[in-house]
Amino acid sequence: MLSRREFVRAATAAAAASAVPGAFAGEPRTLPARTIPGTEDRLPIIGLGYSNAFRTGDLETSRRIIGTLVDHGGAYVDCGGDSRFVVGEVAAGLGVARDLFLGTYFVGADDARARDEANRLLEVTGKPRLDLMHNYPEDAAPHWDTFRRWKDEGLTRYIGVSRHRREAYPTMLAMMQTGTVDVVQVNYSLLETEADVELLPAAAELGVAVTINRPFLNGRYFSLVRDHPLPDWASEFDCESWAQFSLKFILSHPAVNCVLTETANPRHALDNLGAGFGRMPNEATRQRMLEHVRELVGN
């Protein structure tokens, strides 16, 4: 008899093979994973962020995109508020809740409320503890002792800070210097490279895991490139779409562990996952990609 995880794999395999011809021809492949610094844990390189399917409680679409992620070896789903309970319910229904690496936001100022919400999520998912509790640095920094206590008490495996504004980078850098930040989530893409000035190099030096948000600038990236053909030389690193062009640029940065995509479209989810396979651009090609996109958008 098939296990639930095996059933999810079987149920989505045919769709995966037909929807994205190049990356998923035949049996679905398993995403590569990168080690979280200082641990033996490995994080698959593409995950799901704050999808509108989670925000709106669209259970059917959530099932499809979470099932597709897990089917191809993905694990990281990042969300907050009521969305995390949507994700937990869907994952539990698919029988894959324990397979997910769930990152979720918590406010440190209200310890009792945070613990209540964490315990509710643990009850839904059946996990013994959460994977990652994090928040914006302006909240996490003044309450960092609380976050550290949650980790010490076993409520969560990892703690971190997350932001998509460069104004927050100095605070994030200062927190990383304490040696107690496990994961930092930050915006980085072909059109937002500021994090590579100090924050990403510091994360690599200090042994902090890096996850990336806004790979498509909340969709604005596509409006800028969609009327242009993908360059022929993209085939040199097994790139088949503009989405993969951005994701492969991000994933080829040596400090990056995982990039989070936010689609509510199952077909787009498959295309995004395709970026995790095949060759990655080298440093010279990364510079060529930057120059090409900047020329297209007029920057």
- Tens of pLDDT, residue by residue, the chain (299 residues): 334 344 334 444 444 444 444 555 545 579 999 999 999 999 999 999 989 999 999 999 999 999 999 999 999 999 999 999 999 999 999 999 999 999 999 988 889 999 999 999 999 999 999 999 999 999 999 999 999 999 999 999 999 999 998 999 999 999 999 999 999 999 999 999 999 999 999 999 999 999 999 999 988 899 999 899 999 999 999 999 999 999 999 999 999 999 999 999 999 999 999 999 999 999 999 999 999 999 998 86
Asked if 212 contacts 249 with a C-beta cutoff of 8 angstroms, the reply is no
| Residue-range domains of the chain with CATH | 32-297 (3.20.20.100)
Q: 223 is written with which tokens?
A: 């409006």
Read off φ and ψ for residue 70, nearest 5 degrees: -65, -35
Asked if 187 contacts 253 with a C-beta cutoff of 8 angstroms, the reply is no
**Exposed, middle or buried, 97 (CB in 10 Å: 0-12/13-18/19+)?**
buried
Give the separation between CA 79 and CA 85, rounded to whole angstroms: 9
Q: What is the β-pairing status of strands 156-163 and 101-105?
A: unpaired
Characterise 283 by phi-psi region: left (phi > 0), alpha (psi -120 to 50), beta (else).
alpha
Report the pLDDT value the prediction gives residue 14, as an integer from 0 to 100.
Answer: 40
